[in-house]
A and B are shown apart, each in its own frame.
Chain A
Amino acid sequence: AQKVTQAQTEISVVEKEDVTLDCVYETRDTTYYLFWYKQPPSGELVFLIRRNSFDEQNEISGRYSWNFQKSTSSFNFTITASQVVDSAVYFCALSEETGNQFYFGTGTSLTVIP
């Protein structure tokens, strides 16, 4: 069963629009960790954020914000006032308490049009 679902395969927005990338996860562990990574065309996955299951506080970092809701098993990512440099594939990932393996979603390809 898919542990991380990113239902949005591709999104296109015009520069300066806000955009939200959805992530839904599935786990039976009570302790787990959620991540977002950005993969620009160069290929390297860049770490953006990590959230522990026991910390539901939302986080804002500049134009980026994350909404973690355990009740709906979602960890959504919002980019405010998008820029062309935000164009990339974004991956959501889950790491469970047992094991150090990461489960990645299929990614959302974001294109910001100037």
Chain B
Amino acid sequence: KAGVTQTPRYLIKTRGQQVTLSCSPISGHRSVSWYQQTPGQGLQFLFEYFSETQRNKGNFPGRFSGRQFSNSRSEMNVSTLELGDSALYLCASSLALSSGHHTQYFGPGTRLTVL
């Protein structure tokens, strides 16, 4: 079974621009979560989508948004980029059925650099 895929793997943007990152979950997984990883703040939860609905949200400004499509693929958008948005953005998928908790499997990440 193919793992979680993320595109692009690397991205360089300038301040004020916007960016869209894409994540394709493992086949059959319906939940997609996004995390930001920086040396200073570690791994921070952005949001989780399940069946095209945002189910959980972390403590990030509204510039960070996401969506999930009917095939469970997800996109994350960051508008008006700031230098501090430079980070590794990780996507994780899980089965996340109606009950119980399921292991999250991570993709390779997208390394975003904001200049």
Q: Which residues of chain A have a CB within 8 Å of any CB of chain B? A: 33, 35, 37, 42-47, 50, 91, 95, 97, 99-107
Inter-chain contact A102/B56, CB cutoff 8 Å:
no
Bound Cα distance A91, B31 (Å):
21
Chain A CB within 10 A, most for which of B42, B43, B96, B109 = B43
Q: Which of A43, A50, A95, A104 contacts B42 (CB 8 A)?
A: A104
Inter-chain contact A100/B94, CB cutoff 8 Å:
yes
Q: Which residues of chain B have a CB within 8 Å of any CB of chain A? A: 31, 33, 35, 42-43, 45, 48, 50, 55-56, 58, 88, 90, 92, 94, 96, 101-109, 111
Given A45-B90, A100-B55, A101-B58, decide whether A50 and B103 contact each other with a Cβ distance below 8 A: yes
Closest to B43 in A: A104
Q: Which of A33, A42, A106 contacts B101 (CB 8 A)?
A: A33
Would you mind naming 17 contact pairs between A and B with Cβ atoms under 8 Å apart? A35-B103, A42-B108, A43-B88, A43-B90, A44-B106, A45-B106, A47-B103, A50-B103, A95-B101, A97-B101, A101-B45, A102-B33, A102-B45, A102-B92, A105-B42, A106-B42, A107-B42
Inter-chain contact B43/A43, CB cutoff 8 Å:
no
Chain B nearest CB from A49 CB (Å) reads: 9
Main secondary structure of the interface of B (DSSP, over half): strand
Chain A CB within 10 A, most for which of B42, B101, B102, B106 = B101
Chain A nearest CB from B87 CB (Å) reads: 11
Chain A nearest CB from B77 CB (Å) reads: 20
Residues of B within 8 A of A44 (CB): 106-109
Closest to A43 in B: B109
Given contacts A100-B55, A101-B58, A103-B45, 6 further A-B contacts (CB under 8 A): A33-B101, A44-B109, A100-B31, A100-B56, A101-B33, A107-B42
Inter-chain contact B90/A100, CB cutoff 8 Å:
no
